[in-house]
Amino acid sequence: MAIPPLRYAAWRRLWTDEWSFPVDERLPHPAGTAPDSGDSRGKCCIVFGVTSLLLAAVLAIGEIATGQARATETGPTTIPEMWGAWCARCHAEDGTGQVSEPTITGVPMDFTDCAVTTREPDADWERAIAKGGSGVGLSPEMPGFEDSLTPAQIAGFVPHLRAFCRDTGWPSGNLNFPRPIITEKAFPEDEFLLLPAISHESEPASASATNVGLIAAYERRFGRRAMYEVSIPFYNWDFLTSRDSEIGDIAVALKYVAYASATTPRIVSFGLEATLPTGRLYKGFGKGTVVFEPYIAAGTMLRSWYVQGHGKVELPVDPLVDRAYLYNLYVGRDSSSAPDAWTLGVELNGENKQLWITPQIRKGLTATGALAASLGVSIPVKYQREKVVSWVGYLLWEFLEPLRARK
Amino acid sequence: MLGAQVLGAQAPGAPTGRVTGTITTSAVGLAPMRVTIDPKVCGQQLPDHAIVVDGQGHLANAVVVLTGVKRQAAAEATITNDRCAFVPRVQIVRPNAAVKTTSKDPVLHTTSAQTANGRTLFNVALPIAGLTVTKAVGGTGTVRVSCNTHPWMRAWLVVTDEAAAISGADGRFAIDGVPPGSYDLRIWHESLTSAPQKVTVTAGKATEVSVRMK
């Protein structure tokens, strides 16, 4: 593997016996060795190598003079060598984190455990290596390398870490985009979710009403690419003469990642949801029939923008209940790469001939991002009866992620 | 060096005194540590400098702080990772000082700084010899510096805005330029303790203290 550009002159000292490593033009050159433009690489490297040897000799003399002479080993030059020399002390050569003589109290994640590692996005790992564990809400025992390695070197470790998982077929964590409020995301999750919605109808003025809904959902992955979900809606509705609190139609769903490409990045999933007639029909809490809802969900990134789409058809078993066609499109971006960053986004939510626009803001609530909340407002753009604005949002808990750093 | 230090509220040229003293202990020096990690670089065994004491019981690396005498300590400190030890072991710096950490060893060291309540200020990797990384320490207090790849390595930064000194190999310390008055002298050591002492400083004189640590 080629050596990514190196930032520090100090690196060279360890490489005095390396004659052919690629010289990066951005390197600070020792006095008198600025490369001639258009010079051949071989010549430049020999000049460079000789100067390095001279430099090393001067340094060696200096060290002897101060009584500090020391055997200088050759430093690691490739990513696997760097892993072995530096990272393996804590992460083990084989990535499992099981070392014979631990020098820290925490045990790092097992990089061979695909179920755990594949869900991590590259960006989080790069950030962990650059800033250290405390930069991503993990243990501060993981040191930061941003002062000693270049961003390219730091990024170079990620494929090495990925290779510890031998099993293919797991969708990459790079495809785990932030959840929109209404659009179904394509990536499977292990999450608890609470999705509240509050709307206020003020027309006619005599019949003003505030309605509250809350969906509690549990999502669990299984296999490499699948997920099931159970969700229970609760409603508290204003009926002018009374306020009723009821359970709505309980839904169960399956999702499967049909296509995932980490590098592009692109993901497409299919799902099938079934709602059961657990909600009371006559007051409008339920549909009174089983409804099958096949859907497709997809996501990609355009530059630093997340784009997620979702389309679904509601097929009631009872032929007297109308079919519905739903489609959602989300665009958003993060304020930073930190797990507790803000994400700004907007959704278009369509149902048959109606359309809403839902601007929203999301924030990771803990340093690890295991808790997150989102808040948005759904504004009707095309509507049938009255124009009802709803406040919507969610609180999610990724229950397999640590909430806070292990000290 | 000590005579030229900046004084607190004292008018320039006003007469001052000095506090000198010796720190002793009945504790004995520690046995060398056997090293199994990176012995090629660190050696097979290393002295344990958690207590540095000479034959007469003179204790080095204790820090005395004269409570109430404001003074600007060093704005910068350098910690060198040398043969798997931090050198020097104890330094006094002012709040928000720049701490430079550098390595002479061809192995990965980390410089991890923690406050007394265990909060990590920074933890930087020094993968190769010759690198220097600069980080800031925050407010006053004692900062513990450790290495996550060589757990025995230890250094201490006493971050203070008061007049302070470190005892030398002979247990001696001196604080110059102290306005006359009565003060509490606090004494800190990484593994030993002792109660604060009252000292009274008179202009133009040295007040001699002796401290015994347990």
The number of domains in chain B is: 2
- Whether the Cβ atoms of residue B71 and residue B5 lie closer than 8 Å to each other: yes
* Residue A37 predicted with pLDDT over 80: no
The 10s digit of each residue's pLDDT in B94-115 is 999 999 999 999 999 999 999 9
Candidate ranges A235-249, A373-387, B200-214; pick with highest mean pLDDT: B200-214
Whether residue B125 and residue A144 make contact (CB cut-off 8 A), yes or no, is: yes
Q: Is B159 exposed, middle or buried (0-12, 13-18, 19+ CB in 10 A)?
A: buried
**Inter-chain touch B130–A13, beta carbons under 8 Å:** yes
The closest CB to that of B128, out of A11, A104, A134, belongs to: A11
**Which pTM value belongs to this model?**
0.81
Contact status of A67 with chain B (Cβ, < 8 Å): no
Residue A100 at interface with chain B, using a CB cutoff of 8 Å: no
Distance from CA of B120 to the nearest CA of A (A): 7
Work out the minimum CA distance from A147 to partner chain B, whole angstroms.
6
Instruction: Give all strands of the β-sheet with B17-25 in edge-to-edge order.
Output: B172-178, B17-25, B206-213
Q: Are residues B119 and B154 in the same domain?
A: yes
Q: How far is A93 from chain B (nearest CA, A)?
A: 15
Evaluate if residue A54 carries a pLDDT over 90.
no
- What token pair was written down for A6? 């190196």
Spatial CB neighbours of A125, under 8 Å, sequence gap ≥ 6 = A157, A158, A161
- Confidence bin at A281 (pLDDT 50/70/90): confident
Q: Which CATH class is domain A79-162?
A: mainly alpha
Q: What digits encode the pLDDT tens for the residues A250-266?
A: 999 999 999 999 888 99
Band (pLDDT 50/70/90 cuts) for residue A274 is: very high
Residue B39 in contact with partner chain A when CB distance is under 8 A: no
Residues 129 to 188 of B: which have CB under 8 A from any A CB?
Answer: 129-131, 133, 148-151
Q: What is the pLDDT of residue A58?
A: 40
- Among the partner-chain residues A75, A132, A148, the one whose CB lies closest to the CB of B123 is A132
Q: Are residues B126 and B92 in the same domain?
A: yes
Q: What is the mean predicted confidence (pLDDT) over A10-39?
A: 31
Q: Do B123 and A85 touch (CB under 8 A)?
A: no
pLDDT at B14: 85
Q: Which of A148, A157, A406 to mutate to test the interface with B (most CBs of B within 10 A)?
A: A148
> Containing domain of residue B142, as a range?
72-160
When the pLDDT of each residue in chain A is averaged and rounded to a whole number, the result is: 82
Distance from CA of B145 to the nearest CA of A (A): 12
- Contact with chain A for residue B50, Cβ under 8 A: no
Same domain, B39 and B65: yes
Distance in Å, alpha carbon of B104 to nearest chain A alpha carbon: 9
The per-residue pLDDT for A207 is 65
Q: Quick check: B104 and B83 in contact, CB under 8 A?
A: yes
Query: Is there a shared CATH topology between the A79-162 domain and the A174-397 domain?
Result: no
Rounded distance between C-alpha atoms, residue B26 and residue B59, angstroms:
9
Please report which confidence band the pLDDT of residue A158 belongs to, taking 50, 70 and 90 as the band edges: very high
pLDDT in tens, B36-89: 999 999 999 999 999 999 999 999 999 999 999 999 999 999 999 999 999 999
Please state the domain extents for chain A.
5-27+35-74, 79-162, 174-397
Homologous superfamily of domain range A174-397: monomeric porin ompg (2.40.160.40)
Q: What is the pLDDT of residues B5-14, one digit of tens each?
A: 444 455 667 8
How far is Cα B90 from Cα B100, in angstroms, rounded to an integer? 14
Longest distance between any two alpha carbons in chain A, whole Å: 96
Q: Give the residue from B141, B160, B179 where a domain finishes.
A: B160
| Residue A337 confidence class, pLDDT cut points 50, 70, 90 | confident
- ipTM at complex level: 0.90
A56-100 residue pLDDT tens: 444 443 333 333 333 334 579 899 999 999 999 999 999 999 999
Q: CATH number, domain at B76?
A: 2.60.40.420
- Which residues of A fall within a CB distance of 8 Å from B143? none
- Which CATH number is B176's domain given? 2.60.40.1120
Which carries the bigger pLDDT value, residue A383 or residue A226?
A226
Instruction: Quote the mean pLDDT of chain B.
Output: 93
Q: Quick one: how far is CA B4 from the chain centroid?
A: 20
Domain match, B201 and B140 both: no
For residues B80 and B54, membership in a common domain is answered with: no
Q: Are residues B131 and B207 in the same domain?
A: no
Determine whether the interchain pair B128/A134 forms a contact, defined as Cβ–Cβ distance below 8 Å. no
Q: Residue A4 forms beta bridges with which residues?
A: none
DSSP-assigned beta bridge partners for residue B144: B114, B156
What tens digit of pLDDT does each residue of B176-190 get?
999 999 999 999 999
The chain B residue lying nearest A15, using CA atoms, is B128
Nearest CA in chain A to B108: A86
Least confident of A2-11, A43-52, B155-164, B198-207: A2-11
The predicted-structure confidence for A348-367, as pLDDT tens digits, reads as follows 999 999 999 999 999 999 98
Give residue A10's pLDDT. Answer: 28
pLDDT classification of A206: cutoffs 50, 70, 90: low
- Report yes or no: B112 at the A interface, CB cutoff 8 Å: yes
The pLDDT score that the predictor gives to residue B10 is: 53
